[in-house]
Amino acid sequence: MKFLANLLAVPLLLLPAQAQVFTFTHDEMLKYTSHNPFGRFEDGRPKVPDAILAKVKGLSAEEVWAVLPGGGFHNQYEGNFRILHPNRKLVGRAVTAQFMPARPDVADIMEADAKGKGLRDNGNQRVLDLLKPGDVLVVDLFGKIEEGTIVGDNLAAYIYAVTGTGLVVDGAIRDLEGIQPLDMSVYFRGAHPTPIRNVMLTGINVPIRIGGATVMPGDVVFGDSEGVYFIPPQMVKQVVDKADETHIHDEWTQAKIKTGKYKSTDIYPSPRDPALKKEYEEYKKAKLAQQ
Amino acid sequence: MKFLANLLAVPLLLLPAQAQVFTFTHDEMLKYTSHNPFGRFEDGRPKVPDAILAKVKGLSAEEVWAVLPGGGFHNQYEGNFRILHPNRKLVGRAVTAQFMPARPDVADIMEADAKGKGLRDNGNQRVLDLLKPGDVLVVDLFGKIEEGTIVGDNLAAYIYAVTGTGLVVDGAIRDLEGIQPLDMSVYFRGAHPTPIRNVMLTGINVPIRIGGATVMPGDVVFGDSEGVYFIPPQMVKQVVDKADETHIHDEWTQAKIKTGKYKSTDIYPSPRDPALKKEYEEYKKAKLAQQ
Amino acid sequence: MKFLANLLAVPLLLLPAQAQVFTFTHDEMLKYTSHNPFGRFEDGRPKVPDAILAKVKGLSAEEVWAVLPGGGFHNQYEGNFRILHPNRKLVGRAVTAQFMPARPDVADIMEADAKGKGLRDNGNQRVLDLLKPGDVLVVDLFGKIEEGTIVGDNLAAYIYAVTGTGLVVDGAIRDLEGIQPLDMSVYFRGAHPTPIRNVMLTGINVPIRIGGATVMPGDVVFGDSEGVYFIPPQMVKQVVDKADETHIHDEWTQAKIKTGKYKSTDIYPSPRDPALKKEYEEYKKAKLAQQ
Amino acid sequence: MKFLANLLAVPLLLLPAQAQVFTFTHDEMLKYTSHNPFGRFEDGRPKVPDAILAKVKGLSAEEVWAVLPGGGFHNQYEGNFRILHPNRKLVGRAVTAQFMPARPDVADIMEADAKGKGLRDNGNQRVLDLLKPGDVLVVDLFGKIEEGTIVGDNLAAYIYAVTGTGLVVDGAIRDLEGIQPLDMSVYFRGAHPTPIRNVMLTGINVPIRIGGATVMPGDVVFGDSEGVYFIPPQMVKQVVDKADETHIHDEWTQAKIKTGKYKSTDIYPSPRDPALKKEYEEYKKAKLAQQ
Amino acid sequence: MKFLANLLAVPLLLLPAQAQVFTFTHDEMLKYTSHNPFGRFEDGRPKVPDAILAKVKGLSAEEVWAVLPGGGFHNQYEGNFRILHPNRKLVGRAVTAQFMPARPDVADIMEADAKGKGLRDNGNQRVLDLLKPGDVLVVDLFGKIEEGTIVGDNLAAYIYAVTGTGLVVDGAIRDLEGIQPLDMSVYFRGAHPTPIRNVMLTGINVPIRIGGATVMPGDVVFGDSEGVYFIPPQMVKQVVDKADETHIHDEWTQAKIKTGKYKSTDIYPSPRDPALKKEYEEYKKAKLAQQ
Amino acid sequence: MKFLANLLAVPLLLLPAQAQVFTFTHDEMLKYTSHNPFGRFEDGRPKVPDAILAKVKGLSAEEVWAVLPGGGFHNQYEGNFRILHPNRKLVGRAVTAQFMPARPDVADIMEADAKGKGLRDNGNQRVLDLLKPGDVLVVDLFGKIEEGTIVGDNLAAYIYAVTGTGLVVDGAIRDLEGIQPLDMSVYFRGAHPTPIRNVMLTGINVPIRIGGATVMPGDVVFGDSEGVYFIPPQMVKQVVDKADETHIHDEWTQAKIKTGKYKSTDIYPSPRDPALKKEYEEYKKAKLAQQ
């Protein structure tokens, strides 16, 4: 009965989004993420496979950044976060949400829409209801701290229970102490005791801006102790492949450094002496062959 | 041949918008501005009449703010601008534009769209082509200064020639010296010699955020030496009406102050003494009757 | 001989305060803290009992904030601190101190006063001499970092030895490395090697401002990994009582979340389905009965 | 009937202050301003004579600063203001007011006090009622902009009508456009349309902090296009006297500069060549003799 | 006796510089400014001719920036200044000075050097003694405001008397009111009453950093109401030549805009229609021929 | 063959420096560090002996700062760093490097120089080639974060392998995650994925500015969890000697504090009671005798 299931699934998935100002039709989602080489969710959002996400988890930031600018992607990184567990990597597929300062005229229309669809009136939770395993919620709250708290400890626990990943918010969280014990990764601008207020949820799964980065639904989110990277699906394979080579290069370079026999410019960024250069090329070839 | 002209006009007007990620269909524009009590442009954007705009020009910020919060509109003001001519008021109908940090995957799709419609590839100018007399361009450039310059002196002159009003940009302008002699009102965050770069125009005539304010297409923009107010069309009449009363109150209060006979708390915010109170009520009644 | 002891105790306690510009007479202290339902110290400062402080130690920030705004207390929290041991809670009774930029004319008068009372000329230590077990010193040093260091490691050790709690300073500390090994909680804006200079101690145990919060002597200080809360004595009982309920709510909600059977809006902030609602109400009743 | 007038005047003057947490008794005012060499107001506030204020009006900032640090007064200047009319000097006697974030427990007690004395419930106006010709209101609003607006155009007009001077506020003003036409001097941190809210008036005519400066009631306020200086009464005469000498020095130095015959180090800060030195000393002696 | 004069002039000119840590020998000055196509001062500093400076005075910032990035010069602009007379252009040849936080060990050695050469001990004035007509003093005071005041009104008057131009300082000035009446251009970060202190003059006429720009001695300084541009001598001619073309383009474009017949993208940045394009090219050719 | 080795060593050491704008000749290095009481490296840089560095490692910041201001050194501390391992001390001899925003005219001359000397074209690595055991690289990158990354994990590993110490940079690092596992101490302003770009290396082993501190080559770098101190070689012995006394004072004071028998002003900063004072003096004498 997969056919019927799909029929039912689609409205359920799309309803909440349709109660927002900004959302994509299925066609628009396909159009704006048309470079995605992988499968998709029912709403069209790119679904980078779990196997690839697992590989991304093993990458370093250097390996991610080694590829993105070359592909013309200069605006896929944002730092300046407070990070709940800096030593835990955050990897998953972006679900995006955009908030704006509340206006009753616009908010009322959206709430009427939502009510018509049987949705409760908690704007910030509607997007939570959409989350799936492997998703990472990425929220534009325009840097609001006071009354800009996307979740407290209960809803943070919900996010972690459903996704197994974490949260990126250009805004705040509540109940830091209650969230700390959770194993989840959270990137946030600040913590404040006030509940979220005076904002409205204007977009779900549309392009959003997080600081200097533009995030698309379905991007692979990669967070480390430095900040967060948003990798377009079509770049992920290249990132993973190139990483092997970078890894070999670093291994060889650091081994040479440890000998104490070389000046920095002798071996980095590439060996200077022809003999060393050859040695490195052979090492790389051999290593790549083993992969 | 007005009929044919209209037929032609509509596509011309809407095409540029359709080359952006975020735009409203005619229906959406009507839905999200459904409280608008006035007429509309062909694309559905509210068109507060010129006669009312003329009245707004005579208002003070105090008179604007006296009404908005009472209607639940707390997020319709933004300050912290540099202001080209602080003593010139800026009044007009908002045309909104939203930029985001560039991503080649999304930008390419929008450019292909635009090319298909015979548009030139100058993203920031597409929205300029839409401007009409009485419009005020309001641009979200997320506070970008370097390479965040929406116009230089040539395009500023274009905006002023077409609209007769001015510009609000959460970003920068170029060629400040060339813009200065123009009589137009410009609210901007900074000036920089670099041309705009590394951004993409993602929305036209959709809700945008300017600092702490949410701006809708068709809002009445009111700029003074303090900052900019965005008045929803449905609030404009109330603002104008209430202003008369505020004006009478201030006139009476300041006249009393000038007598030097009263302590501040005797007369402000309202007269304390029953006799004075009565005097004021009668003065107000008489004055309102004259209007 | 308790009568005589009190006679002696009062001057000893009040002398240092009397050498400051701002201090409360015994009557003023009673007047401005007249809502305090608990006992008081000799100088009139509210003394929330140790047993209640022990309960406060078990609270979460959420439980504190669940009550304060409802009582009209919106300005009892301050974040943006550097925190010495973020995982240690800070709980105690506020002793407040206010500093201002030094003026020799005012400072000389205060010092003459102090000398006349046999006090040493170390302004910042006078308030330290007042500390008692369970007190938390809260200091307004107007955000001064360089030459705004309230204590170094020796005096920090003194504070901890006497109070067993910690310190909140809108200013700096010295000798961070020497303070780190102490188990005490310290909330500070920065660390600097310079000693405190060019300031004068203007108030002891009077209302002070710490960022956006107003602190009264005798407030219960509650510091966690997010920031510091200042709970008026008259609110403490309500906070503690309400916390039990919040605790039960969170326990039930998180248990439901872990089942993985509910959308976020199904159960939070309250269960949506009537059956679930009833289940929760019964759970709560049973749990409260056990307390 | 001057005796009776005084009897009546005192309570009228002191009542409002007594409704605040911080105020001085008549004795405390005398004690903390005991260096004042001039007369006093009924409440004890130093009253630097009008004739001296007139001389201060002719000074430059350099002439003010030439004396204060030498007297140990390093914290009597604050910049970083927006200035309404930078080319108008502000000179007058400080009336100080201190606000803090509101707490209902403290605010209620003060309001009850005030009501008991027949005062209206507009905290920020109580201090306005105290103003006299030649006073300058100096307000600590802890840098609050939104809802930190001490006056709008009506009350600004009141201040100017009563004092003939202006206003210094570490906070905001409302209705900038309505205030601009007034000839008064206003030093403020920002302008905002919101009325003042969520604060309480805690002190009148007590020491307050404005940025890095400590201000006492009765200080001579001196504002120019750079910022504001707070001159203790006991320093005013010395400032005025020294200014004559500085003026002669600058006149002579600038005349020499205009000859184009000297290197900078030849004549500044003092002439280097013995003959020039002598010439200058004789010039100064002659000029001082003329005064 | 010009030969002898030169012999004497050289030591006089170079002595002050030699008392600093950083200075160029004559050879180094030639080496690091070897692209300079114009004459030089005795110390080797490039001397862009007065006739060219006069042309630069007629340029707009747009015309300057139209050329520099194309030559690889991306770091020749700095904004974020307070500007004394925004409507006066500043044009001249850079004399650079670098200050650093004082260290007695280094400062003593420089002072001993200076004393040995008969120089006075006013570090900041030594560089003033070097100034010549048409020079612009450019000072790196690392953004210091308090005690970072390069000149007050006397020395500002000196600079203006000698150079006829102005001053750029990444630091502060004193006596703003005394400087205001001077016709000179001053770009500064802030104004403060304190004299310069706790710094040492470490370099004269060496490369310095002003915010994001690197300035070389002999660069043409161009200041307008936006900020300051530092044009390398070898780029000046190209800037001036290209400006004519830009000027013609803007003239033509703005004339077209004024007709009200074109959309922005029809004519800017270049005419779109082949006929218009041709018209423009012919206009440009004719105009250039007239020059 | 030490003679020949030296002959070879000198050019090797000095070459890289000579490719920079700012460098010292051997004579200049001696002149500007003439107070150095210890030996020197071949290029004249002071070489504080390893044995003394070992003692410095045992110091506290308080002990360092107890001496420097007394010697007139007020600008030898900088905070506001992110610190890789706050609990690891950083101690070593400063090797300084200064970067400025790139200018092709200056950069090309330096690169031509370098190429002529057989150096590779990686500006930032040239200074790395100079490092020796016990050195600490101190880099002025003027606070640049994006494209201001002095090293990534490979070169960080190189620095640690060669020096065994760490790095101070007024700029950024790359690959924070790859650097974290290294035991080295790193003080930095931020982390960013972009490689270093648009800057040029202008000085090696010359005075540089790190925030508010002036650093000389050969200074002893002392970093703790608060920030970094730069101790001139001639002050090191005094610092180490005085530390013993400070240590004894703290030991005694803290022992007294633990007794709980004293008020803070009784024993700090020095004992008040004559008997206690005597006890302390005897304790100190005995302890110093043991050293």
Parallel/antiparallel/unpaired status of strands A166-170 and A185-188: parallel
Question: H or E segment at C46?
Answer: strand C46-47
Per-residue HEC secondary structure of D109-158 comes to HHHHHHHHCCCCCCHHHHHHCCCCCCEEEEEECCCCCCCCECCCHHHHHH
What is the phi/psi pair of residue B152, to 5°?
Answer: -105, -160
Long-range pairs, F180-183, Cβ under 8 A, ≥24: F180/A225, F180/F84, F182/F153, F182/F156, F182/F157, F183/F85, F183/F88
In terms of CA atoms, which chain E residue is nearest residue B174? E62
Distance of CA C177 to the CA centre of its chain: 24
- Asked if residues D101 and D199 have their Cβ atoms less than 8 Å apart, the reply is yes
Question: Do residues C12 and C96 make contact, with C-beta atoms less than 8 angstroms apart?
Answer: no
DSSP string computed for B120-174? -S-HHHHTGGG--TTEEEEEE-TT--TT-B---HHHHHHHHHHHSSEEEEESEES
Average pLDDT on A245-259 reads 92
Alpha-carbon distances, residue F139 vs D136, D186, F92, F184 (angstroms)? 50, 45, 14, 16
Full pLDDT tens readout for chain C, 291 residues: 333 333 333 333 333 346 789 999 999 999 999 999 999 999 999 999 999 999 999 999 989 998 999 999 999 999 999 999 999 999 999 999 999 999 999 999 999 988 888 887 777 898 999 999 999 999 999 999 999 999 999 999 999 999 999 999 999 999 999 999 999 999 999 999 999 999 999 999 999 999 999 999 999 999 999 999 999 999 999 999 999 898 899 999 999 999 999 999 999 999 999 999 999 999 999 998 987
Q: Which chains touch D (3 or more CB pairs under 8 A)?
A: B, C, E
Six token digits for residue C162 = 């006497």
Beta strands D90-101 and D135-140 are: parallel
Q: Are D193 and B226 in contact (CB < 8 Å)?
A: yes
CA D205 – CA F255 distance, rounded (Å): 45
Q: Does B60 touch chain D (CB under 8 A)?
A: yes
Contact A89, A222 (CB under 8 A): yes
d(CA D227, CA E193): 9
Q: Distance from D153 to chain B by nearest Cα, in Å?
A: 9
Peptide bond into D269 cis (omega under 30): yes
CA of D188 to nearest chain E CA: how many angstroms apart? 17
pLDDT digits (tens, 9 = 90+) for F155-165: 999 999 999 99
Q: How many CB pairs under 8 A join A and F?
A: 73
Compute the nearest-CA separation of F74 from chain C (Å).
9
Separation CA C214–CA C194 (nearest Å): 28
- Say if residue F3's pLDDT is above 50: no
Instruction: Please provide the average confidence, as pLDDT, over all residues in chain B.
Output: 91
SS3 C155: helix
Instruction: For residue A197, count other CB atoms closer than 10 A to its CB.
Output: 11
- pLDDT tens for D69-97 read 999 999 999 999 999 999 999 999 999 99
**Which tens digits make up the pLDDT trace of F86-110?**
999 999 999 999 999 999 999 999 9
ipTM, two decimals: 0.92
Q: Give the side-chain half-sphere CA count within 13 A for F27.
A: 0
E27 touches chain F (CB under 8 A): no
Q: How far is residue B85's CA from residue B92's CA, in Å, rounded to a whole number?
A: 16
D85–E contact, CB cutoff 8 A: no
Residues A84-116, buried b or exposed e (16+ Cβ, 10 A)?
A: bbbeebbbbbbbbbbbbbbbbbbbebbbebbee
Size of interface D-E (CB pairs under 8 A): 72
pLDDT(D224) > 90? yes
CB contact under 8 A, F62 and C194: no
Point out the least confidently predicted range of B54-63, B82-91, C1-10, F25-34.
C1-10
Is the pTM of the predicted complex or chain greater than 0.90?
A: yes
List of chain C residues whose C-beta atoms are within 8 Å of the C-beta of residue D143: none
In order of C173, D66, D101, D145, E108, the CA distances from C167 in angstroms are 10, 40, 21, 29, 43
pLDDT at A17: 41
Q: Do C64 and A193 touch (CB under 8 A)?
A: yes
Residue type, D165: T
Q: How does the average pLDDT of chain D come out, rounded?
A: 91
Distances (CA, A) of B3 to B6, B9, D140: 5, 10, 64
- Cβ contact, residue pair D216, C103, below 8 Å: yes
CA D258, D261, D263, D267 torsion-angle sign: negative
Interchain contact B142–A (C-beta under 8 A): yes
Residue in C155, C190, C194 closest to F264 by CB: C155
Closest Cα in chain E to B189: E80
Average pLDDT for D225-254? 94
Cα(F191)–Cα(B230) distance, integer angstroms:
39
* A138 class by beta-carbon count within 10 Å (0-12 exposed, 13-18 middle, 19+ buried): buried
Of B227, B254, B263, the CB nearest to D129: B263
Residues of F in contact with E218 (CB under 8 A): none
CA B96, CA C137: separation in Å to the nearest integer?
Answer: 52
Mean pLDDT (chain F) is: 91
F219 secondary structure, DSSP code = P
Q: Do C103 and D75 touch (CB under 8 A)?
A: yes
What φ, ψ does residue B206 adopt, rounded to 5°?
-125, 170
Q: Do chains C and E touch (3 or more CB pairs under 8 A)?
A: no
- Quickly state the pLDDT bin for E84 (edges 50, 70, 90): very high
SS3 F70: helix
Confidence label for E225 from pLDDT (cuts 50, 70 and 90): very high
- CB–CB of A163/A137 below 8 Å? yes
Where does the pLDDT of residue B18 fall: very low under 50, low under 70, confident under 90, or very high at 90 and above?
Answer: low
CA of A256 to nearest chain F CA: how many angstroms apart?
A: 9
The whole-angstrom separation of Cα A159 and Cα C264 is: 9
Cα torsion through B126, B129, B131, B132, rounded to 10: -160
Token pair in block for residue E205: 């006429």
Distance in angstroms (rounded) separating the CA atoms of residues A159 and A150: 11
Minimum mean pLDDT range among C275-279, D7-11, E142-146: D7-11
Q: Neighbours of C (≥3 Cβ pairs closer than 8 A)?
A: A, D, F
Those chains having 3 or more beta-carbon pairs within 8 angstroms of chain E are B, D, F
- Give the burial class of D17: count Cβ atoms within 10 A of its Cβ; 0-12 exposed, 13-18 middle, 19 or more buried: buried
Residues 202-261 on D with a CB inside 8 Å of B are none
**Rounded-to-integer distance, Cα E192 and Cα E173, Å:** 6
CA neighbor of B138 nearest in space, from B183, B179, B171, B182: B171
Give the 3-state secondary structure of chain A: CHHHHHHHHHHHHHHHHHCCCECCCHHHHHHHCCCCCCEECCCCCEECCHHHHHHHHCCCHHHHHCCCHHHCCCCCEECCCEECCCCCCEEEEEEEEEEEECCHHHHHHHHHHHHHCCCCCCHHHHCHHHCCCCEEEEEECCCCCCCCECCCHHHHHHHHHHHCCEEEEECEECCHHHHCCCCCEEEECEECCCCCCCEEEEEECCCEEECCEEECCCCEEEECCCCEEEECHHHHHHHHHHHHHHHHHHHHHHHHHHHCCCCHHHHCCCCCCHHHHHHHHHHHHHHHHHC
- CA dist B97 and F126 (Å) reads 48
Residues of F in Cβ contact (< 8 Å) with A225: 176-177, 180, 191
Residue F215: its H or E element: strand F213-215
Size of interface A-B (CB pairs under 8 A): 87
Nearest in space to A168 (alpha carbons), one of A127, A199, A202, A129: A127
Q: For A77, list phi and psi in degrees, rounded to 5.
A: -130, 140
Q: Cis before residue B104, ω within 30 degrees of 0? A: no
Does an interface of 3+ CB pairs under 8 Å exist between B and E?
A: yes
Residue pair D162/D169 in contact by the 8 Å Cβ criterion: no
Tell whether the model's pLDDT for residue A198 goes beyond 80. yes
Backbone phi, then psi, for E210, in 5-degree steps?
-120, 100
Instruction: Please name the residue of chain A whose CA is at the shortest distance from the CA of residue B231.
Output: A103
pLDDT score of D6 more than 70: no
User: What gap in Å lies between CA E64 and CA B130, rounded to an integer?
Assistant: 31
Q: Cβ C73–D100 below 8 Å, yes or no?
A: no
Of A90, B91, E213, B15, give the one whose Cα is nearest residue E221.
E213
The answer to whether residue F291 scores a pLDDT higher than 80 is no
Interface check for C268 against chain A (CB to CB < 8 A): the answer is yes
Q: Do E155 and D268 touch (CB under 8 A)?
A: yes
